């Protein structure tokens, strides 16, 4: 099988990128079984090495021991998210336990741990680089946090917990996706389209025609379909129907996730206690910049004191405005987006839709590349010779402008499709670093769900979708510009509450005329985006900022409550959520709980970590203040940011990297200053 399995061959494609067009679902399981067999042999060689444990024959050897397995699983789980389908989800339920058990075999192996501990015990006298010391420290902690010090009975139970969790996450994600896909709103009467922009109507007609429903309009819960509907549709009953369907995802239907949630939090809590922690949050936060649950609660409470009164003011103003223009006496959740858009139009004299004609995706993508080229001295080139997983996917190569050196490969996948996970993300098919004996450059992808092109128009983005692109490209540049030795330390392999800094900071440039002028031009006439429209966007930057901030810390609070509470006392998911965020909710819950489709914390890496979006916003606001002070494309600032922070990945503690870049710790008030909730600092 290995001779004919593309997952087990060294790829002959550029940058050894995966041969996606040759990979079939039947290749995954045999490839994983063969890769585990290879990895076991490598680990046995490490264990049986008669030489005294040293960094090279233990830590570096372990870093390289599972290279093939890492390659295969990265392809599988990335395709699970961006393609989905019953066959891959069925495979996930088989593959999860197999890889989980293998991971447990390694992390619970006494002989391997003894070798790691022996190197760790002599670390102060070892002649190790900073990166090697980080890898050693991280590896030692991974063994301890993985159960290496437990007795046999506890190790056995830990293995069972890890195996169960390995399938529950993918099942949760699949339920959320399939529940969303099971809903569609078919409109037959053109009057029900009143208020909707032409782009939304054309996209809905296109979506209907794709399902052999010509002459009708089809709306789904994909973001490019859902968001314009609840933002613009005059028909309040239909807005409510869409809103309820979205809020009810994976709740009360055949894809209900409530039992999965209770199992996941119970297992994570049990695992934390087995390992000697108070709860899952304490276990997670030990390896975060925040360090403790108390620090996270202090952080969330500080933001709450700023956001809640601002959000209450936002809602009161919205209710007053809605009444003035003949709206309902009492606003409901499905009214907020609709009247907020109308109020924004009144206050700032523009609509979110005014931007679309100036933001065709191809122009925006080229402009985004030009932005990074100007910032970091790099060049993107569309590439031939790669294989892709879907016809919508494009491949690019990144080069250093001065030296001409190849930096890495980037795949882009921009449009919704059946089976694809909602939202947007950056991922890696191979991190930069040591691979099969030599330093290899990374293979990175960004995956989004943007407005699709129609037969009449190209993909025209909202400004929000532009910020999403810059956000995900910020993650991608973190991965692409990595310059370390070990893949474990590369790119986005950093402490989780630091990972959003390189992405979120890029969103700031999307509000700057100098940047928008690089790409925002009318898709038909080529006319540059009017300066007054950019100014209106800037004037509206603080509009409903309290409302948006309160929502984010509400989700962060919900996450922390799920992972600090006693799971044995939680009987009802909705009731627990209501109690958890009662002081942060300005409406009673009128549909399913957010928890039921909260894939970030139940099927992703954000459990006890959702606060990190806001945590990293403090860092990004402080970072961008430097560029505002020095110049948006100041070469010295950009070089320091690239070389002292981005390229280092996780090779040093993030607080150290940030101080090396900025010359000091981040100013904790930078975020609230940016959002207009604190006065700006006076110039020195």
Confidence of residue 25 (pLDDT cuts 50, 70, 90): very high
Q: 367: which 2 tokens?
A: 């402009």
The whole-model pTM stands at 0.93
Rounded Cα distance, 352 and 354, in Å: 5
Rounded alpha-carbon distances, angstroms, from residue 344 to 158, 198, 350, 506, 545: 53, 19, 7, 24, 12
pLDDT in tens, 239-286: 999 999 999 999 999 999 999 999 999 999 999 999 999 999 999 999
pLDDT digits 0-9 by tens, 500-510: 999 999 999 99
Mind listing the pLDDT tens digit for each residue in 478-495? Answer: 999 999 999 999 999 999
What value does the mean pLDDT take over residues 145-166?
97
- For residue 371, give the H/E element and its range: helix 361-376
Torsion of CA 557, 561, 563, 568, to 10 degrees: -160
Concatenated DSSP letters of 253-295: STT--HHHHHHHHHHHHHHHHHTT-SSHHHHHHTTSSS-SHHH
pLDDT of residue 683: 46
With DSSP H G I counted as helix, E B as strand and the rest as coil, what are the percentages for the chain, rounded to 5?
60, 5, 35
In DSSP terms, which residues pair with 381 in a beta bridge? 397
**Amino acid 572: pLDDT:** 98
The single residue of 131, 397, 465, 472 carrying the catalytic annotation is 472
| pLDDT confidence of residue 456 | 87
pLDDT of residue 381: 98
Q: How confident is the model at residue 678 (pLDDT cuts 50, 70, 90)?
A: confident
Tokens of 339: 């009247």
Tell me phi and psi for residue 394, to 5 degrees.
Answer: -120, 150
What distance in Å separates the CA atoms of residue 608 and residue 557, rounded to the nearest whole number? 9
Share of the chain above pLDDT 70, in %: 98
Distance between CA atoms of residues 598 and 562, nearest Å = 12
- What is the average per-residue pLDDT within 295-320? 98
Let me know how many helices (H) and strands (E) the chain has, helices first.
Answer: 26, 9
Q: Give dist(CA 660, CA 651) in Å, integer.
A: 13
φ/ψ (deg, to 5) at 440: -110, 155
Question: How far is the C-alpha of 449 from the C-alpha of 356, rounded, in Å?
Answer: 16
**Where do we find the tokens 């276990």?**
283
In the prediction, which pLDDT does 455 show? 86
Q: Could you confirm whether 387 is annotated as catalytic?
A: no
Q: How many CA atoms lie within 13 A of 432 on its CB side?
A: 29
Percentage with pLDDT > 90 across the chain: 96
Distance between CA atoms of 256 and 480, rounded to whole angstroms?
Answer: 38
How far apart are the C-alpha atoms of 442 and 428, rounded to whole Å?
8
Q: What is the mean pLDDT of residues 110-131?
A: 90
pLDDT for the residue numbered 681: 60
Contact 634, 519 (CB under 8 A): no
Q: What is the DSSP-derived secondary structure letter of residue 682?
A: P
Residue ranges of the domains in the chain? Answer: 6-149, 183-247
Q: pLDDT at residue 300 above 50? A: yes
* 3-class secondary structure, 512: coil
The tokens describing 305, both together, are: 């004191």
DSSP 499: T
Q: What pLDDT digit, counting tens, does each position of 378-431 carry?
A: 999 999 999 999 999 999 999 999 999 999 999 999 999 999 998 999 999 999
70 exposure class (CB count in 10 Å sphere: 0-12, 13-18, 19+): middle
pLDDT value, residue 380: 98
Sign of the torsion formed by the C-alpha atoms of 667, 673, 678 and 681 = positive
Tokens of 202: 């054309």
User: What pLDDT band is residue 679 in, cutting at 50, 70 and 90?
Assistant: confident
**Predicted local distance difference test score (pLDDT) of residue 682:** 55
Of residues 127 and 114, which shows the higher confidence score? 114
Determine contact, residues 543/594, Cβ cutoff 8 Å: no
Pick from 310, 342, 197: nearest CA to 551: 310
Which pLDDT does position 684 carry in this prediction? 43
What gap in Å lies between CA 357 and CA 391, rounded to an integer? 25
Which pLDDT score is estimated for 125? Answer: 67
Given this structure, which CATH class describes domain 6-149? mainly alpha
pLDDT at 645: 97
């Amino acid at each position: 099988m290995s001779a004919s399995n593309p997952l087990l061959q060294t790829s002959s494609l550029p940058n050894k990128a995966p041969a996606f067009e040759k990979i079939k679902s039947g290749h995954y399981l045999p490839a994983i079984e063969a890769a585990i067999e290879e990895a076991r042999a490598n680990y046995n060689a490490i264990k049986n090495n008669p030489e005294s444990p040293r960094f090279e024959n233990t830590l570096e050897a372990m870093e390289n021991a599972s290279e093939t397995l890492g390659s295969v699983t990265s392809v599988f789980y990335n395709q699970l998210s961006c393609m989905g389908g019953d066959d891959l989800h069925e495979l996930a339920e088989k593959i999860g336990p197999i890889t989980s058990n293998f991971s447990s075999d390694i992390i619970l192996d006494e002989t391997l741990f003894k070798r790691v501990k022996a190197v760790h015990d002599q670390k102060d006298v070892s002649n190790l680089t900073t990166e090697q010391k980080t890898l050693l420290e991280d590896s030692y902690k991974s063994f301890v946090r993985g159960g290496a010090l437990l007795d046999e009975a506890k190790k056995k139970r830990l293995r069972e917990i890890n195996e169960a969790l390995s399938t529950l996450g993918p099942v949760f994600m699949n339920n959320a996706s399939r529940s969303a896909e099971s809903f569609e709103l078919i409109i037959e009467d053109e009057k029900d389209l009143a208020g909707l922009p032409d782009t939304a109507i054309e996209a809905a007609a296109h979506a209907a025609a794709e399902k052999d429903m010509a002459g009708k309009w089809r709306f789904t819960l994909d973001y490019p379909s859902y968001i314009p509907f609840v933002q613009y549709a005059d028909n309040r009953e239909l807005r409510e129907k869409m809103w309820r369907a979205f809020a009810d995802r994976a709740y009360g239907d055949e894809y209900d996730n409530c039992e999965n949630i209770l199992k996941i939090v119970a297992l994570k809590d049990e695992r934390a206690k087995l390992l000697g922690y108070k709860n899952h949050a304490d276990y997670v936060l030990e390896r975060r910049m925040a360090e403790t649950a108390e620090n996270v609660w202090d952080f969330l409470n500080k933001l709450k004191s700023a956001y809640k009164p601002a959000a209450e003011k936002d809602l009161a103003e919205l209710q007053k405005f809605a009444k003035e223009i003949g709206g309902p006496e009492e606003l409901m959740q499905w009214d907020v987006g609709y009247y907020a858009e109308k109020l924004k139009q009144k206050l700032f004299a523009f609509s979110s839709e005014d931007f679309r004609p100036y933001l065709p995706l191809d122009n925006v993508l080229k402009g985004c590349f030009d932005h990074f080229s100007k910032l970091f001295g790099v060049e993107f080139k569309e590439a031939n010779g790669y294989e892709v997983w879907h016809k919508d996917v494009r491949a690019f190569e990144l080069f250093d402008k001065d030296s001409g050196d190849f930096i890495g490969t980037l795949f882009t996948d921009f449009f919704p499709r059946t089976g694809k996970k909602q939202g947007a993300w950056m991922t890696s098919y191979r991190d930069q670093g040591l691979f099969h004996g030599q330093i290899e450059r990374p293979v990175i992808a960004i995956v989004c769900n943007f407005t699709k092109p129609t037969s009449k128009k190209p993909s025209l983005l909202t400004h929000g979708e532009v910020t999403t692109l810059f956000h995900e490209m910020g993650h991608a540049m973190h991965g692409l510009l990595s310059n370390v030795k070990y893949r474990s330390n590369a790119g986005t392999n950093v402490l989780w509450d630091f990972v959003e800094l390189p992405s979120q900071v890029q969103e700031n440039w999307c509000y700057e005329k100098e940047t928008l002028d690089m790409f925002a031009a009318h898709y038909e006439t080529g006319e540059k985006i009017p300066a007054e429209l950019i100014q209106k966007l800037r004037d509206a930057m603080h509009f409903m900022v309290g409302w948006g901030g309160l929502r984010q810390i509400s989700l962060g609070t919900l996450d922390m409550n799920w992972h600090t509470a006693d799971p044995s006392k939680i009987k009802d998911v909705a009731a627990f959520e209501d109690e958890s965020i009662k002081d942060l909710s300005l409406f009673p819950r009128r549909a399913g709980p957010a928890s039921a489709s909260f894939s970030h914390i139940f099927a992703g890496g954000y459990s006890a970590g959702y606060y990190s979006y806001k945590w990293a916003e403090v860092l990004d606001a402080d970072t961008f203040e430097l560029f505002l002070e020095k110049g948006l494309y100041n070469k010295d600032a950009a070089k320091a940011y690239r070389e002292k922070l981005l390229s280092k990945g996780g090779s040093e503690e993030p607080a150290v990297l940030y101080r090396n870049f900025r010359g000091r710790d981040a100013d904790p008030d930078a975020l609230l200053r940016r959002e207009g909730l604190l006065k700006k600092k006076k110039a020195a």
